Structure 1
Amino acid sequence: MITVNGDRLDWTEGMTIRDVLRVRNYKFPLLVIKVDDALVQPRAYDTTTVPDGAVVSVVHLLSGG
């Protein structure tokens, strides 16, 4: 089990950041993601695995003028 933005999510072996985004239906192009307070770069979403028990934070960045 992992926690994503305060909500519990079933964990699977080998789960990546991209998997978490897909399951939670996050499609916004500008995201800041941390796993246990470690920043994950967008280029690493497909390769960064999420350990069981992790706390994942996904923040949507907004811009405007």
Structure 2
Amino acid sequence: MIVVNEEPLEWHPGMTVRDVLRAKNYRFPMLVIHVDDALIQKKDYDTASVPDGAVVKVIHLISGG
């Protein structure tokens, strides 16, 4: 089990940041993601692993004027 934005999510072996985004249906193009306080770059979403018990924070960036 992992926690994503304070909500539990079932974990599976080999889970990546991209898997978390799909499971939570996060599609916003501008995201800041931390896994256990480590910043994950967008280019690494498909390869960055999420370990069992991880705390994941997904922040949606809003811009405008």
State the TM-score, normalizing by the size of structure 1: 0.99
How far did 1:53 drift? 0.1
Percent of residue pairs bearing the same amino acid type: 66
Q: C-alpha distance in 2, partners of 1:14/1:49?
A: 7
The unaligned stretches of length 5 or more in structure 2 are none
1:51 corresponds to: 51
Q: C-alpha distance in 2, partners of 1:45/1:61?
A: 17
How far did 1:40 drift? 0.1
Q: C-alpha distance in 2, partners of 1:23/1:8?
A: 11
SS in 2 for 1:32: strand
Q: C-alpha distance in 1, partners of 2:29/2:56?
A: 17
Superposition CA RMSD, Å: 0.2
Q: C-alpha distance in 2, partners of 1:38/1:49?
A: 11
State the TM-score, normalizing by the size of structure 2: 0.99
Q: C-alpha distance in 1, partners of 2:13/2:48?
A: 12
Please tell me the residue identity of whatever aligns with 1:41: Q
